Amino acid sequence: MDKKEIQTILEEAMEKGREAIPYGEVASYIPELSKADKNHLGLCIYTKDGRRYSIGDTNVRFTIQSISKIITLAVALESYGFDEVFEKVDVEPSGEAFNSLIDLDLSSNKPLNPMINSGALTVSSMLLPKVTFSEMKLFAKKLCMDPDMELDKDVYNSEKANISRNRAIAYLLESKGIIENDVEDTLDLYTKMCSLTVTAESLANLGLILANDGIDPTTGTRLLKTETVHTIKTIMLTCGMYDSSGEFAVYVGIPTKSGVGGGLVSTVDKEMGIGVFSPALDEKGNCIAGRPLLEHLSKKLRLHIFDRSSKMDIE
C-alpha cells in the first residue's frame, strides 16, 4: 500500500467519524466537560517503524478521564504483582454501565473489572501507600511521551463537586473491605488521574508503547513489563469500551480504551498506536465517532486481531 492510499483511507475514516458526530453529545454530568466543542475531531497514528499521521484536531488538549484507568492498572500490576491486584478486582467484562452499583452489591465480593469505576477506585486505593500523584503524573507523561501533560484544575474541581456517585461506590467498597486505604484520598487520586490533560498525539504515543510491548520505540527504554502490557491489552479488548466492548471487539477488533473527555487510545499489536479525540459521546459514554472511524481503519488496513495477514506496509 503506498502513502497516498493510506492517506486516502485515513481521510475516509475521518469522514465516517464526522458523520456520526451530530448523533452524539458532550458529557454533561460534569459541568466543566459540557463546555467542550462537540465538533472537534482528531486522528493520530504512530507506527513502530516511525511513520506519523495526524489529521484534524490532534493538538487540542482535553482530559484523559477513564483512559487513566489503564495507567493506574499498569502501575498497580507492576507494584503489587498480578495475584495481589486480581485478588481485589476481577477481570470479567460487566455488561453493565460503567458506574453501576448493582453487580457490586449483588456479588458482594469484588468489582468485576478494573475498567469500571468500582474497579478503578479499588486499584487507585491500592496505590496510595506506594506512589504520590506527582509520581503518577510523571510516569503518565513518559507513557504518553507528553511533557506538557498537566492537571486541568477546572475539570478537577468540577469533578470533585460532582463526585457523589463515585463517593457512594468507594464507601460501598470500603464497607466490603475491598478499599482499605483512606476513601477520600482514593477519590482524590482517582479524580486527579482523570483530570490529566492529553491530546490525540499523546494517546497515539501511549498506544504505540503498548503495541511495542512496553518499550518506548524512540529511546528503547522499557517503561512497562511485557506481561503487564499483554494483560492491559487483553483487558482493553474485553472491557475497554464499557458495555459496548463486545460489539467493538467484533466489528473493530483493536484493543481500545475510551474516556468521557472524548479520547480513545488504540493499540495494534507490534505495529502502531492510534489516538482519537472527539468529545461527542454515545449513550454508553464512548466517543460516537470512534466506532465508524476505527472500523473503517480496521477493515481497510486489516487491523482486526483476527485479520492481520496483510498490514499497513508501504511498498
Residue 194 has which C-alpha cell?
482523570
Residues 6+ apart with CB under 8 A from 306: 253
> Smallest distance, Å, CB 288 to a second copy?
18
> Smallest distance, Å, CB 135 to a second copy?
26
By C-beta, is 134 or 309 nearer to a second copy?
309
Q: Which residues bind a second copy (CB under 8 A)?
A: 86, 90-96, 100-103, 105-106, 112-113, 164-165, 167-172, 174-175, 183, 226, 229-231, 233-235, 237-239, 243-247, 249-250, 253, 269-270, 304-309
The residue type found at 179 is: I
Instruction: Name the active-site residue from 54, 190, 233, 257.
Output: 190
By C-beta, is 5 or 90 nearer to a second copy?
90
By C-beta, is 11 or 92 nearer to a second copy?
92
> Smallest distance, Å, CB 158 to a second copy?
15
By C-beta, is 72 or 245 nearer to a second copy?
245
> Smallest distance, Å, CB 61 to a second copy?
28
Catalytic residue list contains 190: yes
List, as one string, the DSSP characters of 233-244: HHHHHHHTTGGG
Instruction: Name the active-site residue from 38, 69, 110, 142.
Output: 69
By C-beta, is 146 or 295 nearer to a second copy?
295
Would you give the DSSP letter of residue 60? -
> Smallest distance, Å, CB 124 to a second copy?
17
Instruction: Name the active-site residue from 123, 260, 265, 276.
Output: 260
Give the angle subtended at the CA of 67 by the CAs of 37 and 213, to the nearest 5°: 130
Residues 6+ apart with CB under 8 A from 149: 137, 140, 141, 196, 197, 198, 202
Q: For 175-184, which contacts have Cβ atoms below 8 Å and span 24 or more sequence positions?
A: 176/108, 176/109, 178/88, 178/89, 178/110, 178/111, 178/122, 179/121, 179/122, 179/125, 180/125, 181/125, 181/126, 181/128, 181/129, 182/128, 183/125
Catalytic residue list contains 260: yes
CA dist 287 and 161 (Å) reads: 24
142 in Cβ contact with 223 (< 8 Å): yes
By C-beta, is 253 or 263 nearer to a second copy?
253
Where helices occur in 43-182 by DSSP H, the ranges are: 68-80, 82-88, 102-107, 117-127, 133-143, 153-160, 164-175
Which residues are 70's β-sheet partners? none
Catalytic residue list contains 38: no
Instruction: Name the active-site residue from 26, 38, 46, 66.
Output: 66
> Smallest distance, Å, CB 59 to a second copy?
30
| CB neighbours of residue 78 within 10 Å | 18
**Catalytic machinery residues:** 66, 69, 190, 242, 260
